[in-house]
Protein backbone atom coordinates (compact mmCIF):
# COMPACT_ATOMS: atom_id res chain seq x y z
CA UNK A 1 0.00 0.00 0.00
CA UNK A 2 1.24 3.44 -0.92
CA UNK A 3 0.16 6.96 0.05
CA UNK A 4 1.43 10.23 -1.42
CA UNK A 5 0.73 13.93 -0.91
CA UNK A 6 2.63 16.46 -2.99
CA UNK A 7 4.28 19.36 -1.20
CA UNK A 8 2.94 22.90 -1.29
CA UNK A 9 4.40 26.17 -0.03
CA UNK A 10 3.07 25.38 3.45
CA UNK A 11 2.89 21.59 3.58
CA UNK A 12 5.48 18.84 3.19
CA UNK A 13 5.60 16.04 0.70
CA UNK A 14 4.35 12.90 2.38
CA UNK A 15 5.10 9.40 1.14
CA UNK A 16 4.14 6.22 2.92
CA UNK A 17 5.12 2.87 1.46
CA UNK A 18 4.00 0.05 3.72
CA UNK A 19 5.60 -2.62 1.52
CA UNK A 20 8.97 -0.99 2.25
CA UNK A 21 7.97 0.11 5.77
CA UNK A 22 8.85 3.76 5.04
CA UNK A 23 7.16 7.03 5.93
CA UNK A 24 8.71 10.25 4.59
CA UNK A 25 7.83 13.86 5.35
CA UNK A 26 9.93 16.40 3.48
CA UNK A 27 9.64 20.20 3.21
CA UNK A 28 8.11 23.03 5.21
CA UNK A 29 5.30 22.10 7.56
CA UNK A 30 3.05 24.95 8.60
CA UNK A 31 -0.37 24.10 7.21
CA UNK A 32 -3.23 26.52 7.78
CA UNK A 33 -5.11 23.70 9.52
CA UNK A 34 -2.73 20.98 10.75
CA UNK A 35 -5.50 18.60 11.85
CA UNK A 36 -7.14 18.81 8.43
CA UNK A 37 -3.83 18.33 6.61
CA UNK A 38 -2.82 15.26 8.62
CA UNK A 39 -6.29 13.65 8.67
CA UNK A 40 -5.88 11.63 5.43
CA UNK A 41 -2.45 10.45 6.61
CA UNK A 42 -3.92 9.21 9.88
CA UNK A 43 -6.83 7.60 8.07
CA UNK A 44 -4.49 5.76 5.69
CA UNK A 45 -2.43 4.48 8.60
CA UNK A 46 -5.49 3.36 10.58
CA UNK A 47 -6.87 1.47 7.61
CA UNK A 48 -3.62 -0.14 6.50
CA UNK A 49 -1.46 -0.74 9.60
CA UNK A 50 -2.69 -4.33 9.99
CA UNK A 51 -0.76 -5.12 6.80
CA UNK A 52 2.58 -4.27 8.46
CA UNK A 53 4.16 -7.56 9.43
CA UNK A 54 6.35 -7.28 11.42
CA UNK A 55 4.96 -3.98 12.69
CA UNK A 56 7.84 -1.58 12.12
CA UNK A 57 8.17 1.67 10.24
CA UNK A 58 11.08 3.94 9.30
CA UNK A 59 10.00 7.59 9.62
CA UNK A 60 12.21 9.97 7.63
CA UNK A 61 11.78 13.60 8.74
CA UNK A 62 13.33 16.22 6.51
CA UNK A 63 11.29 19.20 7.60
CA UNK A 64 12.81 22.63 7.05
CA UNK A 65 10.24 24.30 9.29
CA UNK A 66 7.70 22.85 11.69
CA UNK A 67 5.09 24.98 13.46
CA UNK A 68 3.61 24.11 16.85
CA UNK A 69 0.26 22.87 15.48
CA UNK A 70 1.98 20.49 13.05
CA UNK A 71 4.37 19.36 15.77
CA UNK A 72 1.42 18.42 17.98
CA UNK A 73 -0.24 16.38 15.22
CA UNK A 74 3.04 14.62 14.35
CA UNK A 75 3.40 13.74 18.03
CA UNK A 76 -0.16 12.35 17.96
CA UNK A 77 0.58 10.30 14.83
CA UNK A 78 3.71 8.82 16.38
CA UNK A 79 1.82 8.07 19.61
CA UNK A 80 -0.89 6.33 17.59
CA UNK A 81 1.71 4.20 15.79
CA UNK A 82 3.38 3.24 19.07
CA UNK A 83 0.01 2.43 20.69
CA UNK A 84 -0.64 0.07 17.77
CA UNK A 85 2.57 -1.80 18.58
CA UNK A 86 4.60 -0.37 15.71
CA UNK A 87 8.34 -0.20 16.35
CA UNK A 88 9.58 3.08 15.00
CA UNK A 89 12.94 4.20 13.68
CA UNK A 90 13.12 7.97 13.11
CA UNK A 91 15.78 9.49 10.87
CA UNK A 92 16.18 13.24 11.29
CA UNK A 93 17.96 14.99 8.43
CA UNK A 94 20.10 18.00 9.24
CA UNK A 95 20.09 19.60 5.78
CA UNK A 96 22.33 22.63 5.36
CA UNK A 97 20.88 25.07 7.90
CA UNK A 98 22.09 24.86 11.49
CA UNK A 99 18.69 25.77 12.93
CA UNK A 100 16.60 23.26 10.93
CA UNK A 101 16.46 20.77 13.80
CA UNK A 102 15.51 23.25 16.51
CA UNK A 103 11.85 22.68 15.65
CA UNK A 104 12.18 19.00 16.60
CA UNK A 105 13.62 19.53 20.09
CA UNK A 106 10.46 18.86 22.11
CA UNK A 107 9.53 15.82 20.03
CA UNK A 108 13.03 14.39 20.29
CA UNK A 109 13.06 14.64 24.08
CA UNK A 110 9.82 12.65 24.31
CA UNK A 111 10.85 10.10 21.69
CA UNK A 112 14.29 9.54 23.22
CA UNK A 113 12.66 8.59 26.51
CA UNK A 114 10.52 5.94 24.79
CA UNK A 115 12.28 2.62 24.28
CA UNK A 116 10.12 1.84 21.24
CA UNK A 117 11.61 4.68 19.20
CA UNK A 118 15.09 4.57 17.73
CA UNK A 119 16.37 7.99 16.64
CA UNK A 120 19.23 8.58 14.25
CA UNK A 121 20.68 11.81 12.92
CA UNK A 122 21.68 12.06 9.29
CA UNK A 123 23.58 14.77 7.45
CA UNK A 124 22.16 16.10 4.21
CA UNK A 125 18.89 15.05 2.66
CA UNK A 126 16.81 11.92 2.24
CA UNK A 127 17.92 9.75 -0.67
CA UNK A 128 15.60 7.15 -2.18
Q: How many domains does the chain have?
A: 1
Q: Is the pTM of this model over 0.85?
A: yes
CATH number of the domain encompassing residue 49: 3.30.750
Which residues span the domain enclosing 21? 2-122
Q: What is the CA radius of gyration of the chain?
A: 14
Determine, yes or no, domain membership for 20. Answer: yes
pLDDT at position 100 is: 54
In a domain, 47, yes or no: yes
Structural domain includes residue 23: yes
- Using one digit for the tens of pLDDT, what is the confidence trace for 58-85? 999 999 888 999 999 999 999 999 999 9
| Higher-pLDDT residue of 81, 110 | 81
Q: What is the mean pLDDT of residues 39-51?
A: 94
In the predicted structure, residue 128 carries a pLDDT above the cut 80: no
Asked if residue 13 belongs to a domain, the reply is yes
Instruction: Tell whether 127 is covered by a domain.
Output: no
User: Is residue 128 assigned to a domain?
Assistant: no
Amino acid sequence: MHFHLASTLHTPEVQINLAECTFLMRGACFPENAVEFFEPIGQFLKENLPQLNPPHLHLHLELTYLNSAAKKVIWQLVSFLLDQGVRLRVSLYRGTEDDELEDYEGLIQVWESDGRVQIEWREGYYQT
